[in-house]
Amino acid sequence: MNVEEFRDYCLSKKGVTEGLPFDEHTLVFKVMGKMFALTGLERLPAQVNLKCDPDYAIELREEHDGAIIPGYHMSKVHWNTVMLDNVPPKLVMKLIDHSYNLVVSKFTKKLKAEFDGLS
């Protein structure tokens, strides 16, 4: 999976927006204003940061040594950095879904109602 495919998949999800809130090189994806994924546009090899359940994060790091590592410049407990060239695209999509669903599951009642009202 390349960065453009990563971007397209993130944007295909309900309520997702993209932006460059930190600098012109860091693309951030948010669902209802809450960050669930980001990537450095100029980082080579291509890598992305995704939110992850802490126990699952450890499991992934052990199974994919060097391809999935603690989140670069993020909370090492709740974020993983995924090397796109070294992880199968289906797993990357699964990890995007996991990150997205973690964020959605933490919505307040008000935000959840707003989210549910989106088409």
Mean pLDDT by runs of 10 across the 119 residues of the chain is 96 98 96 97 93 97 96 92 96 98 97 93
pLDDT of residue 48: 97
Strand partners, 50: 37, 80
Preceding amide of 21 cis, omega within 30: no
Q: Which domain covers residue 29, as residue numbers? A: 3-116
pLDDT of residue 73: 85
Burial class (CB in 10 A: 0-12, 13-18, 19+), 78: middle
Domain harbouring 24, CATH code: 3.90.1150.30
Q: Considering the entire predicted model, what is its pTM?
A: 0.95
| 28 touches 22 (CB < 8 A) | yes
Distances (CA, A) of 62 to 22, 87, 99, 116: 30, 13, 18, 36
Domain count, the chain: 1
| pLDDT digit string, tens, across residues 33-60 | 999 999 999 888 999 999 999 999 999 9
